[in-house]
Amino acid sequence: MLLLLVIVSILSIGSLNGDAVIQAAFRACPGSSGSIWTRPSYCPADPSNNPPQQTEIMDLIAWTWNTAPKEQACPFGLSRVLLRFDQMTDVIPQDAIIRSATLKLFGVGSQQVNGYAFSYFGNSALNAYAPAHYGPNRVNITRVTQAYDMATVTWNTQPSSQGPPAVIPESNMQYYYNVAVDVKSLVDNMLAPGTNNGFLLQFEVEDYYRSMNFFSSNTKDESKRPLLEVEYILSCKGSATKDVSLEAQIVNLKN
């Protein structure tokens, strides 16, 4: 049977004391990430009721703006990011034991953010262009606890989330800041039906000036889309691996 690598890779299957140990990697599907925004309601073009624009970049920004008409100053604007891996619960059984889970995000370069208001700054924790416009940009990742529709969710309707958070450290480079974050404690609670609503990313301190930018699920370069790597155990007494033959490729099989 020909197995197509689409959104999931079964990286290896081994054993531990008779139990199956499986490593799987999930790429975020197009449309499964988005930035939600807010500005004070008196600012022109307040985006608090706008759904995410499906761009190639996930924007985490706390900044000031000059907004049309007539470049009216807007004292503050803020974004958060929603990110889901819906296919995870199509593959991993509810009674699996998670051994590890790592979220990998891939940072953009200056050429990818040209034309945006923050294109000068990249990741604000290392800012050679404007040192005064700088703030620690540590990011918290929490587990979303409510269902939502990525096509219609807004800042004002954003779902609730729950920690304790996983943490993206302050960036140590202005561009191309790639991260690998331990999210096991969050994924542990995403296997039961209705609980895999993804992640919410937000600054630990939501005050200007801070920015951090990653490629989104919509980028044309699939290798730069968010990646979730999970290693899990299937007990001999537990359920069998779900049939993922139409959406996964067994890359390496270990005895």
pLDDT more than 70, % of the chain: 73
77-103: pLDDT as tens digits: 899 999 999 999 899 999 999 999 999
More confident residue, 17 or 213: 213
Instruction: Find residue 217's DSSP bridge partners.
Output: none
**Closest to 202 measured CA to CA, from 160, 254, 157:** 160
Average pLDDT over residues 192-219: 93
pLDDT score at 253: 30
Assigned token pair, 19: 């139990």
- Tens digit of pLDDT for each residue in 151-203? 999 999 999 999 999 999 998 888 899 999 999 999 999 999 999 999 999 99
Average pLDDT over residues 235-242: 54
Contact (Cβ atoms closer than 8 angstroms) between residue 223 and residue 105: no
pLDDT of residue 69: 56
- The region of weakest confidence among 78-87, 117-126, 147-156, 205-214 is 117-126
Give the model's pLDDT for residue 119: 46
Residue 126 confidence class, pLDDT cut points 50, 70, 90: very low
From 3-12, 52-61, 211-220, 230-239, the region with the lowest mean pLDDT: 3-12
Cβ atoms 248, 50 nearer than 8 A: no
Give the model's pLDDT for residue 15. Answer: 54
Predicted confidence at residue 67, as pLDDT, reads 57
For residues 68 and 254, which has the higher predicted lDDT (pLDDT)? 68
Strands 161-168 and 139-144: antiparallel
* Residue predicted with more confidence, 245 or 203: 203
pLDDT at residue 204, rounded to an integer: 96
Smallest CA-to-CA distance from 171 within 140, 137, 142 is with: 137
Question: Quick check: 58 and 219 in contact, CB under 8 A?
Answer: no
pTM of the model: 0.83
Nearest to 213 by CA among 79, 59, 87: 59
More confident residue, 193 or 72: 193
Distance CA 221, CA 216 (A): 10
C-alpha span between 198 and 220 (Å, rounded): 22
Reported as a pLDDT band with limits 50, 70 and 90, residue 14 is low
The alpha carbon torsion through 180, 13, 242, 201 (nearest 10 deg) reads 0
Which pLDDT score is estimated for 1? 28
Give the rounded percent of residues in the chain with a pLDDT score beyond 90: 55
pLDDT of residue 240: 47
What is the reported pLDDT for 141? 99
Question: How crowded is residue 110: how many other Cβ atoms within 10 Å of its Cβ?
Answer: 14
